[in-house]
Structure 1
Amino acid sequence: MNEAQTVTEQPTSAPTDFEAFVAARSTALWRSAYLLTGDRHKAEDLLQTALLKAWRNWDRINRREAVESYVRAALVSTYTDWWRRRWNGEVPTGELPEHPAAAATPEVRHDVLAALALLPRGQRAVVVLRFFDDLSEARTAATLGVSIGTVKSQTARALATLRTSPLFETGDRHE
């Protein structure tokens, strides 16, 4: 990239479309990134990286209804790339970033993250997209670039792993 080409260059299409998309969907996308990484700071980095990919390709994303699928696919592929490179992220500063308010108790959030951490990355991605982002099997398959059968088998394996997890042996852990 030369000096004339910077990351801040805007695509030729209306930047307000991108800004509107980010304003409307960033909370849900951040949640997906958080569930994938299990860390607030890494989730923010992951989301920013995925949104940057969308920004750079904004003119090429022909159907605006496909933008969210594009960004979700970028989240998963970037997350996988980071894991393959053993990316550890940046060291956070003393000031914590803002984060969306959650309805679940801290104990429940901890249990969900602990349960997701038990799963291999592919199964974790399927569970996050299917159950937390409420995508259909077909949309999950399209987002991940796999077959619907793969989504079904990964879901079944993930649920079997979670059912046998010590985290879920009793239903009254937090009472």
Structure 2
Amino acid sequence: MTEEEFAEFYTRSVHRLTGQLYVMTGDFHEAQDVVQEAFVRAWGRRGRLERDLGPEAWVRTVAWRLAVSRWRRVVRGQRAWSRRTDPPASDGPEPGMVDVGRALRRMPPRQRQCAALFYVCDLSVEQVAAETRLSTGTVKTHLSRARAKLADSLDRPSHSGESSEV
């Protein structure tokens, strides 16, 4: 891929990839950071990108892996701080609203990744399996569990401090 082709590829896909990673991570600034870092890494291997799954899939996969690595560091840091003090209080969504971002963040990373690739990136189960290097059966399992968690969240909107009555 020449410099001009890479620049065109970047222009064509940076916003879409940032949006996709935003859905996967739940943090827009984090999505921007990991997508930019993935493009920097892609620049160094731009001659080989066309032979991979596809340049956009490669950048998305690298960005996702960067996000997971950062997430793990944050979780380790939070665990260390939680041993010293109480976690900060969160206001959360308004009563009666569904917090899709919170529902996605409650999913395990692989489940969230599969759901975002399938529903947001509009990839087929086979494409999700190829990009995540999981079997199609495993992808289907992750999607089924993600749908169940999202449906549960949609059926029971968040109410801060209220008990749920049926």
Q: TM-score, normalised by structure 1?
A: 0.70
What letter is aligned with 1:47? V
Secondary structure of the residue aligned to 2:117 is helix
Deviates more, 1:75-84 or 1:130-139: 75-84
Q: Which position in structure 1 is the counterpart of 2:106?
A: 118
Over 3 Å counting, the alpha-carbon distance change for 1:65 and 1:154 in structure 2 is: closer
Q: Deviations over 1:58-112 (max 9, x none)?
A: 1122348711111111122111222223389xxxxxxxxxxxxxxxxxxxxx733
RMSD: 2.3
CA distance in structure 1 between the aligned counterparts of 2:134 and 2:53, rounded to whole angstroms: 20
Q: Which position in structure 2 is the counterpart of 1:162?
A: 150
Contact 2:6 2:43 in 1 (8 A): yes
1:151 aligns with 2:150: no
Specify which structure has the bigger relative contact order, considering alpha-carbon pairs within 8 angstroms and separated by 6 or more residues.
2
For structure 1, the residue ranges without an aligned partner over 5 or more in a row are 1-12, 89-109, 171-175
Secondary structure of the residue aligned to 1:59 is coil
Q: Which position in structure 2 is the counterpart of 1:138?
A: 126
What letter is aligned with 1:30? T
CA-CA distance at 1:147 after TM superposition: 1.1
Contact 2:2 2:47 in 1 (8 A): no
Q: Deviations over 1:32-58 (max 9, x none)?
A: 111122122111111111111211111
Contact 1:76 1:144 in 2 (8 A): no
CA-CA distance at 1:152 after TM superposition: 0.5
Identity percentage over the alignment?
34
Over 3 Å counting, the alpha-carbon distance change for 1:26 and 1:87 in structure 2 is: farther
Contact 1:73 1:144 in 2 (8 A): yes
For structure 2, the residue ranges without an aligned partner over 5 or more in a row are 77-97, 158-166
Q: Which position in structure 2 is the counterpart of 1:35?
A: 23
Over 3 Å counting, the alpha-carbon distance change for 1:85 and 1:60 in structure 2 is: same
Which of the two has greater helix per residue? 2
What letter is aligned with 1:134? D
